[in-house]
Amino acid sequence: MSEIKYYSEEGLQKLKDELHQLIAFDRPAAAAAIAEARDKGDLSENAEYDAAKEAQGHLEARISKLQDLVANARLLDESKIDTSKVLLLSIITIRNIKNGATQRYTIVPESEANLKEAKISITSPFASAFLGHKVGDMVEVNVPAGKMTFELKKIER
């Protein structure tokens, strides 16, 4: 049995879109590549055929994994998120006590993390340090450079 994972609506839609792309377009392309390689003659010495079959195997493994993820996915109801403390899908604004820099992050499921979009994984040490805290709390975070202290300025959903 697979593990149940929670996703935002956007994150679950990305999984479904990728699965659709793989099944509707990539799978037929892989089958065509195999057929084309098969038409080139002796399969025992046909590297192109072997490569096409291997690529198909990787594709089918990815499709299987995505189908499993989608089947066991649970959608988070963002309207029911408590904004009085930091939880999954909270958007937090923090201030570094040492240098006064302010940063804003969204705490997301691990599969949706993207630092360029300021989305940090709930399983990361940084995000998990803020879980359960309220506005005004001072939060100490262990980072590679040492311990840093942040003030939790704002929590949104």
Q: Mind listing the pLDDT tens digit for each residue in 14-66?
A: 999 999 999 999 999 999 998 888 887 776 777 888 888 999 999 999 999 99
The predicted pLDDT at position 81 comes to: 67
CA atoms 139, 142, 143, 149: torsion sign: positive
The predicted pLDDT at position 106 comes to: 93
Residue 1: pLDDT above 80? no
Residue 88: pLDDT above 90? no
The predicted pLDDT at position 138 comes to: 95
Mean pLDDT of the chain: 88
Check if the beta carbon of residue 5 is closer than 8 Å to that of residue 74: yes
Residue 124: pLDDT above 60? yes
The predicted pLDDT at position 89 comes to: 86
Provide the residue count of the chain: 157
pTM, rounded to two decimals: 0.67
- Helix (H), strand (E), coil (C) string for 94-131: EEECCCCCEEEEEEECHHHCEHHHCEEECCCHHHHHHC
From first CA to last CA, the distance across the chain in angstroms is 32
Measured in whole angstroms, the distance separating CA 126 from the mean position of its chain's CA atoms is 16
Question: If pLDDT is split at 50, 70 and 90, which confidence band does 83 have?
Answer: confident
Which 3 state secondary structure label does DSSP give 84? coil
Mean pLDDT of 61-83: 84
Task: Give the side-chain half-sphere CA count within 13 A for 139.
Answer: 26
State both tokens at 133: 């805290």
Check if the beta carbon of residue 48 is closer than 8 Å to that of residue 40: yes
How many helices (H) does the chain have, and how many strands (E)?
Answer: 4, 7
Distance CA 70, CA 136 (A): 38
Per residue in 94-121, pLDDT (tens digit) is: 999 999 999 999 999 888 899 999 999 9
